[in-house]
Amino acid sequence: MLYSLEGNFLPNIIQKKNYKKSDTLKIRTSSDIIFSHGYNVNEYSLYQFKPGDVVVFDYPNDHPNCEILNRKTLENDLNFVTELNLKINKNVKSDFQFFIENKRFRTKEEKNKIAKEYFDSRKIKFDSVSKTGTISEQIFTLIKTDLDYLQKEASNRNILKNPVNLSMPSGRHLVIKSFESIHQPKLLKSKNNSIIDSRAQLESVINDKEIEDNNRDYLLYQYMNDILLNFSKEDIKKFFELFKTAIHNKTVIKSLSEKYLLAVSNEFSVNDIALSDGTQNKFDLNHLIKTKYSNKIVYVDFWASWCGPCIAEMGASRNLRDAYKDKNVIFIFISIDKDVEKWKIASKKQKLFESGNDFITLNYPNSLFYKEIDLKTIPRYLIYNKKGELIHKNAPNPSNKEIEVEFNKLEK
């Protein structure tokens, strides 16, 4: 699930906190929001909600069913697309199903035929429902625009020259596709994967003078976001300066700075073990251990929101914390996530914020400390003794009973 404010291209991702009971989410806004709810493998439904709306989703047959409690809506304003997806896609075989049954992949012609039939059938349904008076003009325009964007030929330069509704995922995707059909990305290959050279793409956006302002800002944002995730500190510093100069909507600069804690992270040298609690507060691990955690055994857990093995250890970690809550043992959690929001969501889910010792690193892997302990994979655990000395660079994980042996030895 994700949403954008109407007239704004910044996407806000909503991650479900649990799958066993209801969640409640409050979105503070004075603007309408364009809400995209995915389901199955590649289906989604679009909604337009207003400030003050009380929205309820339930999931009969694992598909979203939407209801607005505080105002009346027309019959097909909310669930028309979901119901249409179920009907149209019921008889369409996925590429995987086709391969299993036919022992071959679909040809380009077969794919084009299926796509044409898919869009034609949806257009007929959209047009017919618009004549019944059961769907509002605003919602019909939203759905129709979404379909138009999905059908557009990406190589048409006029797309970049004219305004596109970038509050919609299909609009954002269309602008990226159009730009990359003209400025074909270079691939950078490594041992494990390939990534787009977003540095070259960002420069191409700046040099292309025929792109409409909002489309340009979105492209700059997208490629700068990729640079922040995938490139070196030197590249980030260089291209963020170019980005700040080129972008028209300066509020986007603040958004990216907050997302990656740029203002804070630039203040540290390679000699620091720079940490943040997710605000503008900044800390050094060595200083914390010598002051706040002096005369304590400190167990450091390096992890990340995307690390499956890290998450798998969190249950054992909670049990270990409970077992030693009245002892002189402190548990510190340090995430190597780059995206602050993803870290915050995962931390809350794992109840790490409650510990008061939950941080995100600001200079991994650039700090000399990470090179000294050879921190290349996670999860990874360290132990400091009561004197503040690092005595175990590769400590047992929380589910290993040896960790209790280590703690008990140090407690004596």
Residues 117 and 166 in one domain: no
**Angstrom distance (rounded) from CA 334 to CA 338:** 12
Contact criterion met (CB below 8 Å) for 326 and 296: no
**Angstrom distance (rounded) from CA 2 to CA 35:** 6
Residues 295 and 243 in one domain: no
Residue 17 has pLDDT above 70, yes or no: no
Neighbours of 204 (CB within 10 A): 17
Residues 121 and 223 in one domain: no
Final residue of a structural domain among 134, 151, 168:
151
Residues 235 and 142 in one domain: no
Residues 204 and 329 in one domain: no
**25 inside domain:** no
Residues 401 and 289 in one domain: yes
**pLDDT digit string, tens, across residues 350-375:** 989 777 899 999 888 888 999 999 99
**Strand, coil or helix: 231:** coil
Residues 76 and 136 in one domain: yes
Final residue of a structural domain among 86, 117, 151:
151
**pLDDT digit string, tens, across residues 173-185:** 999 999 999 999 9
Residues 298 and 229 in one domain: no
**Angstrom distance (rounded) from CA 399 to CA 405:** 12
Range of the domain at 83: 36-151
Residue 135 has pLDDT above 60, yes or no: yes
**pLDDT digit string, tens, across residues 260-294:** 776 545 556 677 788 988 776 788 999 999 999 99
**Angstrom distance (rounded) from CA 218 to CA 228:** 15
32 Rama sector, left if φ>0, alpha if ψ -120 to 50, beta otherwise? beta
Final residue of a structural domain among 151, 182, 206:
151
Residue 86 has pLDDT above 80, yes or no: yes
**pLDDT digit string, tens, across residues 294-313:** 999 999 999 999 999 999 99
Residues 146 and 82 in one domain: yes
**249 inside domain:** yes
